Homo-oligomer: A and B are copies of this chain.
Amino acid sequence: MSTIKVAQIGLGPLGQKIVQYIAARQGIELVGAVDIDPSIKGLDLGSHCGLDPMQIPICESLAECLETATPDAIILTTVSTMEQVKPQIEEILKSGLPIVSTCEELAYPWDMAKDIAEQLDIAAKKAGVAVLGTGINPGFLMDALPGFLTAVCQTVTNVKVSRVQNAQFRRIPFQKKIGAGLDLDQFESLKASGRLRHVGLTESVQLIAASLGWKLTKTEDIITPVIADKEIKTDAMTIPVGFATGVDQIGRGWVGDEEKITLHFKAAVGEADSFDRVEIKGEPDIISTIAGGVNGDVATCAITINAVKQILRVQPGLKTMLDMPPLSCFE
């Protein structure tokens, strides 16, 4: 296979990390980069991302980027909502380029943003290319992987997925992001601001339901603090008893009055264990556990890059992980 050429749109922390990851790989290379921040316009992409210079200038628009670069595909890491991502995808599709995006709501937009999804599907087909929303979560651990594990089941009555992470040794910004060290009023304020929420849990519920052919009648997404029952010390903070150590988020999907899908996302300082677990009730029951859990920082970059190979193979249209041949690492 010849080397895949990509342009990176969005150079926030995730976009920069993807640039670093692509630079370290065989089989895929960067040929362009775009960010709307005027303060980094014209800077060298490599230098800006902490690498050796790449002789690739950061452009302010895709049009400018495509004056010199000829990518096979676009990686888009900019926004989290369908409303925000729609005009960005439409602009890229005008250039006839396939897209892999980490936009969380794009991971399964067919319930909550059906109209926009249909419009993007039509636009992608017209452009003759495919568009995919993916990532580690949503996109894999709490939706596509559990769905794939049901392939060995004659019946499935319930799916439960748990992603539990001990944040004790994670980066301090991550500890702050999950509300560790806040008193419960502060936690509620952060929650009300929307910045505490793991975006995409309902999309994961809906992707699992779609894979099993279940028509959900209700979904739920509830956030509560994990509360310290003893004092906890980290390098960055001391958390008193009764303060938040992190966040507990539950996504649920019902068919009628039966809770069929339960997704449990918990990230807190001082958790006894980190793991990713899928529990399928059916024939047979399946309990599959990734010990230690999957490092989200590495894995989000990896799966986004790995998706680029497959986005070039599939028929045009707006895709989810349910439409894609299985992603894998490649060289």
A-to-B contact residues, CB < 8 Å: 1, 21, 24-25, 27, 136, 140-141, 144-145, 147-156, 211-214, 282-284, 286-292, 294-295, 298-299, 301-303, 305-307, 315, 321-331
Contacts and interface: CB of A to CB of B under 8 A. Distances in A.
Contacts of A288: 288-290
A326 B154 contact: no
Contacts of A148: 145, 148, 326-328
A72 to B, nearest CB: 16
Nearest to A291: B287
B214 A306 contact: no
A155 B148 CA distance: 22
16 contacts: A148-B327, A150-B306, A150-B328, A151-B328, A152-B294, A152-B298, A153-B299, A212-B329, A213-B331, A214-B331, A284-B295, A284-B298, A286-B294, A288-B290, A289-B291, A321-B326
A150 B288 CA distance: 16
A102 to B, nearest CB: 14
Given A291-B289, A322-B325, A302 B152 contact: yes
A326 B286 CA distance: 17
Contacts of A327: 148, 151
A306 B213 CA distance: 12
A152 B211 contact: no
Given A136-B152, A284-B294, 10 more contacts: A1-B213, A148-B148, A150-B306, A152-B294, A152-B302, A153-B306, A212-B330, A287-B291, A288-B289, A325-B325
Contacts of A321: 326
A315 B154 CA distance: 26
Nearest to A24: B154
